[in-house]
Amino acid sequence: KNQVEQSPQSLIILEGKNCTLQCNYTVSPFSNLRWYKQDTGRGPVSLTIMTFSENTKSNGRYTATLDADTKQSSLHITASQLSDSASYICVVSRTLGNNDMRFGAGTRLTVKP
């Protein structure tokens, strides 16, 4: 079982609507959690990074939340645009080891006009 589980696997919404993507993890000891956006045919690009003490962080229309107690994170997208169509990947890093990053399988978001 993967240590980073994302849901849903895929999601279709209409332009202008909001949506929330979920990430549950069992990675320990926890260092930080990143959300990446990956457009089709491109590499992942970082959206946010959150440490243990941060509950929420925003990047434009993207807002990430973190509950370190329940080991859950969410990415909320407000007023979606067609350009938001992409895969969103949750990545959790451990405090031990160099580059011990655990990747989720991603959520594929499609925004339709």
Q: Give the nearer residue to another protein in terms of CB position, either 78 or 85.
A: 85
For 28-50, b/e burial (b = at least 16 CB within 10 A) is eebbbbbbbbeeeeeebeebbeb
* 76 binding another protein? (CB under 8 A): no
Please pick, from the candidates 11, 13, 49, 68, the single residue that binds another protein as defined by CB under 8 A. Answer: 49
CA distance 57 to 113: 28
Min separation Cβ 12 and another protein, Å = 16
Task: Cite the DSSP H helix spans in 1-113.
Answer: none
Please pick, from the candidates 23, 89, 109, 111, the single residue that binds another protein as defined by CB under 8 A. Answer: 89
- Residue among 30, 20, 19, 10 at smallest CA distance from 70: 30
Please pick, from the candidates 34, 73, 75, 84, the single residue that binds another protein as defined by CB under 8 A. Answer: 34
* 107 binding another protein? (CB under 8 A): no
